Homo-oligomer: A and B are copies of this chain.
Amino acid sequence: MRILLIEDEASIANFIKEGLEEEGFAVDVADNGKKGLELALNILEEYDLLLLDWMLPGLSGIEICRAIRKENQHLPIIFLTAKDTADDAVFALETGANDFIRKPFSFEEMLARIRVLLRSKRGEQTIFRYKNIEMNLDTHRVTKNGEAVELTQKEFSLLEYLLRNKGRVCRRTRIIEKVWDINFDHSTAVIDVYINFLRKKLEDPGAESSFITTIRGIGYRINDET
């Protein structure tokens, strides 16, 4: 996987480059906007992902992002930004970025986000469907009958776990461990509550049976559609 990093501060650029290379990525660095854009546009299909600093001498990150999006809709773009107003984040996403990370950030966190965006390139399944519900891990969106449904993080990852295991029982213990990361507290009823949230948000009001089947004493299951 080849990543283009556009970042003017040499120390940061190096830190990221070396870290990512240790993880097995190939990383090119451009230390200003103009160079970066050139590289990106000339060998666009070479790159699997773009890490883009918000504040750059010359062309700003935003401008680069716009320019690239004109040519290529699919290249995942992650903004690195020191700013911390929500406005900027929203603005960045509207401009066409897929994600943004605030400096200072942990390398782990960045890596995790990069991996998420590259999932589809690695051939992993990123779209899950059940009847009229569609979940897209790339865009982190869920739709019901084509209309967006806003899910919180926990709701999202619970649904993801259920859909990944469509057709199989999802045992309570597993769910707690996978979605909540809890190892020893079994006395909680959070699962029930979140199942309830998902049902409320994703079910048609008049439905006679839930799309999530309860298996009493065991867990839950989203049925295979056959």
Contacts and interface: CB of A to CB of B under 8 A. Distances in A.
Given A22-B173, A218-B140, A11 B185 contact: yes
Interface residues of A, number: 38
A165 to B, nearest CB: 10
Given A22-B173, A138-B168, 6 more contacts: A23-B173, A106-B177, A107-B183, A108-B174, A139-B221, A140-B168
A26 to B, nearest CB: 14
Given A23-B171, A139-B168, A140-B169, A177 B108 contact: yes
Copies of this chain present? 2
B153 A12 contact: no
Nearest to A178: B108
A215 interface: yes
27 contacts: A11-B185, A11-B186, A11-B187, A12-B184, A14-B186, A15-B173, A15-B183, A15-B186, A18-B173, A22-B218, A23-B171, A104-B183, A104-B184, A105-B183, A106-B177, A107-B174, A107-B183, A108-B174, A138-B168, A138-B169, A139-B168, A139-B221, A140-B168, A140-B169, A152-B216, A153-B216, A153-B217
Interface of A: 11-12, 14-15, 18-19, 22-23, 104-108, 138-140, 152-153, 167-169, 171-174, 177, 183-187, 215-219, 221, 224
